[in-house]
A and B are shown apart, each in its own frame.
Chain A
Amino acid sequence: MADEVSEETIRSLEATALEIRRDIVRMTHAAGSGHPGGSLSVCDLVNALVFQELRIDPARPDWPDRDRLVLSKGHAGPALYSALALRGFLPREELWTLRKLGSRLQGHVDRGKLPVIEASTGCLGQGIGMAVGMALAARLGPHAFRTYAILGDGECQAGPTWEALMAGGHYKLSNLVVILDRNLYETDGSTESIMGIEPIADKFRAFRYHTIEIDGHDYRQILGAFAEARRTTEGPTAIVAHTVKGKGVSFMEGTHVYHGKPPSAAELERALTELGAPSGAPR
């Protein structure tokens, strides 16, 4: 399934992933607030979408046929902002304005401020519904784009998520791909200790999704799942991406502690060292 993916593609994605992870820790540190844990876990998924899967064009950001990406877990904006900047949709200098007064880079992704964002999110549970609406619009035409939506696992506790998923299955939206960032943690702890969502893949199947489980940090598996989704014509696809919260920064991995806490100055240095970055100022 991952047959067509070249070594070169993988290496290039791994290189951008490293940049994005460095940006995430730098941006949240500079802002003094934000969500590094869930940005780091979703980084490889966002990276693969922005650099490989989505039909988008920095020269024509409002191209009507462009594929749509809805980041339903809108607090993971740093990952998306960084990827979009690296892909040429916004100047890299702008990354360091995250969460500052007047910035286009809001604490939660904001279409009104930054039009390349397809849908403003932040309050969980609303992104899948908007993605379903976009997929219905694409089916009505004339612009036959595909819609991708990224969902958090804590967000799966929210009822509206399931209402929207039900609609996507009911309408057999084969142009819709829902990607779950299954990083196991939410704000206060692990999802299974707070309000268990398992068996989550079975839930997607029961809601009539072609469901694929992958390692959300393995680019061959990520791109393979996207390709499989394209071949799925009977209905929507759900990709359960098993990820590590805080992936890439050892002390942020597998814990909820850095869900909504940026790294301190010392922690930033440690993180950047682990991410192989020259220390000091951004860039």
Chain B
Amino acid sequence: MTPAGPAESLRDAYGKTLLELGGKDPTLVVLDADLSGSTRTILFGQKYPDRFFNVGVMEPTMMSIAAGLALSGRVAFASSFAVFAAGQAYNFVRQSICYNHANVKIVATHGGLLVGGDGGTHQMVEDIGLMRGLPGMTVIVPADAPTTRAATLAVHAREGPAYVRLTRENLPVVTDGTFQLGKAAELRSGSDLTIVAVGAMVARALEVADELAQMGVSTRVLDFASVKPFDEPALLRAARDTGAVLVLEEHSVLTGVGALVASTTSENYPVPVRRVGVPDVFGESGDPWALLDRYGMSLERIRDEAWELLRVRGKVQ
């Protein structure tokens, strides 16, 4: 099932923002690895062919070339699908980019299960964990097109490595696009329960929160698009105010935002935390939205986990 509301392409938002930046910043260069139509870097490539390098199927080396450009005074954006940008190229991102603190912005499209038909080899659900673990790396997971635009501008403005994870599917607009690095966005205020969500799961968080509100349950929804730097104060405030946190992510629960939330709260202010995400398995081919349901991220499952937390806290019978 598809979430209600008008959906917009995050990838188009990225491509258009690159175009906009290309006119303002002559030091900007863009790299791609034979997926420029899908990542939308082709928009930049058509307008600024001499600052665009489609290097072919060589994601690891694309990261090293991007680092070399950045170490020579350029701001480099490098794009591919998440499984190639974060997975195939991991140690090249680690050493060429992060170890050198090179000014490279990796914008990866096709994160998560919503890749759909291409199947488990292409459905990258470990990238947030991989990228978050790299010292000096900024990690952003936008929930919609306006946040994608804001995040692209934000990583461009901030010196140093960054990883932005986009979704292939169009997503409903859920924010006003006032994304700030290091700040969680409170999309619903609430006092009974907190839902922390990233990416495509933010829309599902809002859907469940609005249902709960009709039943008299006040749910705070935090969009944690800025995964790193992470807004620890906002999380701990929510833990104190509501006493329970449900985390929704289209990513492995082993290493993602749920793990981050659980460790942060347990070290600072322990409250019950439940993680909704991909369990310890690979995905498979299928309709993108059906895959979310099949792999444990259905609205039904989210509702169940929310009620379970409310029960644990003694807020319902």
Contacts and interface: CB of A to CB of B under 8 A. Distances in A.
Nearest to B61: A159
Interface string B64-92: 00000000000000000001100110000
Closest 8 CB pairs of A and B: A195-B56, A101-B286, A122-B121, A157-B56, A99-B117, A107-B119, A106-B119, A33-B117
Interface string A173-203: 0000000000000111001001100000000
A123 B84 CA distance: 8
Interface of B: 32, 34-38, 42, 54-58, 60-61, 83-84, 87-88, 116-122, 284-287, 290-291, 294
Interface in A67-115: 74, 98-103, 105-108, 110, 113
A105 B285 CA distance: 8
A200 B55 CA distance: 17
Given A123-B83, A187-B34, A187-B35, A99 B57 contact: no
A157 B62 CA distance: 11
A108 B121 contact: yes
A106 B116 contact: no
Nearest to B87: A123
A158 interface: yes
Interface string A117-152: 000111111000000000000000000000000000
A155 interface: yes
Given A99-B285, A100-B286, A101-B286, A194 B119 contact: no
B116 A33 contact: yes
A188 B37 contact: yes
A276 interface: no
B57 A101 contact: no
A189 to B, nearest CB: 8
A188 B34 contact: yes
A154 B34 contact: yes
Please classify how large the interface on chain A is, using the bins under 10, 10 to 19, 20 to 34, 35 or more.
Answer: 35 or more
B57 A106 contact: no
A159 B117 contact: no
A120 B120 CA distance: 10
Given A107-B285, A123-B88, A188-B34, 14 more contacts: A98-B285, A99-B285, A101-B286, A101-B294, A107-B122, A110-B120, A122-B118, A122-B119, A123-B83, A123-B121, A154-B56, A157-B56, A158-B57, A186-B56
Interface of A: 31-34, 74, 98-103, 105-108, 110, 113, 120-125, 154-155, 157-159, 186-188, 191, 194-195, 260
Given A100-B286, A123-B83, A188-B35, A195 B118 contact: no
Contact of B34 (A31, A159, A194): A194
17 contacts: A34-B117, A99-B116, A99-B119, A100-B287, A110-B120, A113-B284, A120-B121, A123-B84, A123-B88, A125-B88, A159-B58, A186-B57, A187-B34, A188-B32, A194-B54, A195-B57, A260-B38
B57 A110 contact: no
A113 B229 CA distance: 39
Contacts of B55: 157, 194-195
